[in-house]
Amino acid sequence: MVKCPRCGYENASSSVYCDNCAYLLSSNKSTKPKKTNTGRWNVGLGKKILIVLGIIIVALLLFSFIYNNSQPSNNESLNVIYDDGSQQQASSHPYQVVISYNGTWYAEMGDPDYLVGKSGSGENTFTLNCAAWDNVKINAQKLSGEGEIKIQLLRNGEVVAENSTTGGHDSVSIFYNS
């Protein structure tokens, strides 16, 4: 006979639970199988999630590093490689604009979709942020003064387009299609 430690009821020696209060009786017979060490790590669910998240973060950082280091630099991206394998190298900013006028002027210049406005007087030189294959548009207008206003488009130091006017408050334009 086994006495229940909770209520004191006398139970049969083969009882696992108290017949009176259902308390688990201490016995040599266990209802749970004993765990055996199978050689695996005993890791809880939370730790498993943290390990998986850590692996994902490391993979993303590694991918980002490889992607960023495999991209060409700005100078390399302005090079053109043709089907026959030949390569045309261009400087990172191949275009320059020279505006000459004795009075004050205003100009818009650059890629036709991204024009930049500049104003000044006398002769000024501007470097355009355009690639060698971009179209270039320049429009300069006299604001004050008289005489000739002249604009020149240089590509890698050589004049590729030029225009001028001597009219009153006239403007002068160049559209260069490379």
At residue 108 the predicted structure's pLDDT band, cuts being 50, 70 and 90, is: very high
Query: How far is 26 from 16, CA to CA, in rounded Å?
Result: 8
Torsion from C-alpha of 128, 132, 136, 138, nearest 10 degrees: 40
Q: How high is the pLDDT of residue 145?
A: 79
Choose the weakest-confidence range: 90-94, 145-149, 174-178: 90-94
DSSP 3-state assignment of 34?
coil
Query: How far is 175 from 160, CA to CA, in rounded Å?
Result: 11
Q: How high is the pLDDT of residue 109?
A: 92
Q: How high is the pLDDT of residue 106?
A: 93
Q: Nearest to residue 28, comparing CAs of 12, 11, 10, 13?
A: 13
Q: How high is the pLDDT of residue 38?
A: 58
Q: How high is the pLDDT of residue 62?
A: 94
Segment 47-106, tens digit of pLDDT: 899 999 999 999 999 999 998 887 765 555 555 556 666 555 555 678 899 999 988 999
What is the pTM assigned to this prediction?
A: 0.48
DSSP 3-state assignment of 125?
strand
Q: How high is the pLDDT of residue 163?
A: 93
At residue 126 the predicted structure's pLDDT band, cuts being 50, 70 and 90, is: confident
Q: How high is the pLDDT of residue 27?
A: 52
At residue 161 the predicted structure's pLDDT band, cuts being 50, 70 and 90, is: very high
Q: Nearest to residue 128, comparing CAs of 107, 105, 103, 104?
A: 107
Segment 17-45, tens digit of pLDDT: 899 999 998 755 455 555 555 556 667 88
Average pLDDT (115-129) is 88
Q: How high is the pLDDT of residue 74?
A: 53
**89, 125 Cβ separation under 8 angstroms:** no
* Residue 118 CA: distances (Å) to CA of 85, 104, 160, 170: 40, 11, 21, 17
